């Protein structure tokens, strides 16, 4: 009895091993998969639909996704005759370097007026805001492709 008490865990493990191996080998062998011929199905890619870009553009413009679009050049703001050469900073003060016709580059700050009469309201790192005579705000970028907004 002393032997069983001293070795109860190894005996229990051996008993479980005998039971598991008996169950393993007592199970029947799995059936072999049935091999047969598959039905011949014609597989092909679906036909690509033709893209009509004119219809797509008409659908976008009819939904007015971006609000009111300027329809003609008569409604668009006139292009300025001056050119922004750069935007700089001296401490907390920002300024614009502006070229106008054949005149030398001038430095303009917030509150100064542009050559066409627009007053500078604020200056950011890459754009500045002006106020027109009829109190509308316009934003100009310093890059060539930035249109006035």
- Could you read off the pLDDT of 34-60 as tens digits, one per residue? 877 777 777 888 888 888 888 888 888
What average pLDDT does this structure show over 136-144? 78
In a domain, 52, yes or no: no
In a domain, 126, yes or no: yes
Instruction: Give the phi and the psi of residue 18 in degrees, each rounded to 5.
Output: -65, -45
> For all residues of the chain together, what is the average pLDDT?
82
Query: Which residues, in sequence order, are CB contacts of 132 under 8 Å at separation 6+?
Result: 118, 138
What average pLDDT does this structure show over 117-133? 88
In a domain, 111, yes or no: yes
In a domain, 41, yes or no: no
Distance CA 12, CA 3 (A): 13
76 falls in which pLDDT band (50, 70, 90)?
low
Distance CA 48, CA 29 (A): 50
In a domain, 69, yes or no: no
Q: Model's pTM, two decimal places?
A: 0.45
Distance CA 27, CA 24 (A): 6
Distance CA 148, CA 140 (A): 5
In a domain, 14, yes or no: no
In a domain, 70, yes or no: no
What average pLDDT does this structure show over 104-122? 90
Quote the DSSP letter at residue 57: H
Residue 82: per-residue pLDDT = 82
- Containing structural domain, residue 117: 82-141
């Amino acid at each position: 009895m002393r032997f069983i008490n001293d070795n109860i865990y190894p005996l229990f493990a051996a008993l479980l091993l005998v039971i598991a191996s008996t169950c393993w080998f007592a199970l029947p062998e799995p059936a072999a998969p049935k091999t047969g011929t598959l039905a011949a199905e014609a597989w092909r890619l679906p036909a690509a639909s033709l893209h009509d870009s004119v219809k797509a553009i008409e659908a976008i413009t009819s939904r007015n996704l971006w609000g009111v679009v300027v329809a003609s050049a008569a409604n668009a703001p006139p292009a300025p005759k001056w050119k922004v050469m750069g935007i700089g900073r001296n401490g907390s003060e920002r300024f614009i370097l502006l070229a106008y016709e054949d005149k030398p580059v001038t430095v303009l700050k917030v509150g100064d007026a542009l050559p066409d009469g627009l007053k500078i309201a604020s200056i950011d790192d890459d754009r500045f805001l002006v106020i027109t005579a009829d109190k509308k705000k316009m934003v100009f970028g310093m890059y060539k492709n930035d249109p006035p907004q």
